Amino acid sequence: MRIRVLGSAAGGGVPQWNCACRVCRQARAEGNFRLQDTAAVSGDGTAWYLINAAPDVRAGILDTPELAPGPGLRDTPELASGPGLRDTPLRGVLLTTAELDHTLGLLSLREAIRLRIYATATVTMALTSVFPVFPTLAQYTGIDVHEVSDGIALDGGLDVQRLTVGTKRPRYARADLSEEGLAEGGSPKVGGSGPKVGESGDGRGLGSCGRGDWVSALRLTDRATKKSLVYATCLPEWTEDFDAFVDGADEVLLDGTFGTEDELTLMTGRPGTARSMGHLPMSVSREHAGRHPGTRFRFSHLNNTNPAVGDDIVADGDLL
Ligand SMILES: [Zn+2]
């Protein structure tokens, strides 16, 4: 199994375009940038999947040699315009949330010949009925949306288990998704020229959207080597379920949005603790991680207020 980090920043990236905080100033001075949270994963090095699609996903893909299209121009001129020109190792996109910083990049993938997207019923509903990314994308390319409840098998020998770790809705969905709205009209519009929604077309699973499978952690297991990695770059709390989910994993990529509970206020003067914003601070995660000595924990999804450096902080381009 190979995991390539395309982007290791929280929403806004590092530096954020309109921020002159210490971390952003230093990043500009050093040219040390972080794109927003996206990774590419493959079991066999041939079939690749994105985990999330950040607004700057195009830059991340261009920086990732494994995702280069091919075979490209053929020797024979007659074949030069054949399908080989648009062959891509990218087989699909797995979404861990419906947040803008994880999904806007889908629109930048509209040149795809087809695009397969894996998401929970909750995330699918949000991106279909509230913020219509899927119907919009479907006007440009064929998309297949597959509902992920507990697990899926991917091409290239990867199995994926999913765990709901948070129920915080994206800001755009807070007003629209009242319990009443969900009961009356919250089901995804499917059929026609719109996106094909896996097995969720009957509305099954939408009943749980009041709470909702908004934020997921994914455990990726290589069927051949049994190596496993947990991707949990948005983690509001370290629950017993999450503790069991990471148990025995070789690697875990954790939420590094904030280093400490009060970081945002200290750095910007704005109110709000890390946990109130849906992100367990690294200081707390490290205590929990210490109970799993056989597992390597690293942090990604760093906010531009987080000055953390060290061996357990990933950078764009890292191969895990
Ligand atoms: Zn900043």
**How many A from CA of 22 to the centre of ligand 1?**
7
Report CA(43)–ligand 1 centroid distance (Å). 36
C-alpha 170 to ligand 1 mean position (Å): 21
**Cα(267) to centroid of ligand 1, in Å?**
9
Q: Which pLDDT tens digit goes with each residue over 286-301?
A: 999 999 999 999 999 9
> Ligand 1 centre from 40 Cα, in Å?
26
Q: What is the pLDDT at residue 159? A: 98
64 CA distance to ligand 1 centroid (A)?
A: 26
pLDDT of residue 203: 35
One-letter amino acid at 308 equals A
Domain segments of the chain: what residues? 2-73+82-222
> For residue 42, how far is its CA from the centre of ligand 1 (angstroms)?
33
What distance in angstroms lies between residue 121's CA and the mean position of ligand 1's atoms?
Answer: 34
Four-way CATH pick for 2-73+82-222: 3.60.15.10, 3.40.50.720, 2.40.50.140, 3.40.50.300: 3.60.15.10
pLDDT at residue number 319: 95
Of 101, 163, 88, nearest to 133 by C-alpha is: 101
11 Cα to the center of ligand 1, angstroms: 11
Instruction: Tell me which residues of the chain have a pLDDT lower than 70.
Output: 71-84, 176-210
Q: Is there a contact between 218 and 236 (Cβ–Cβ < 8 Å)?
A: no
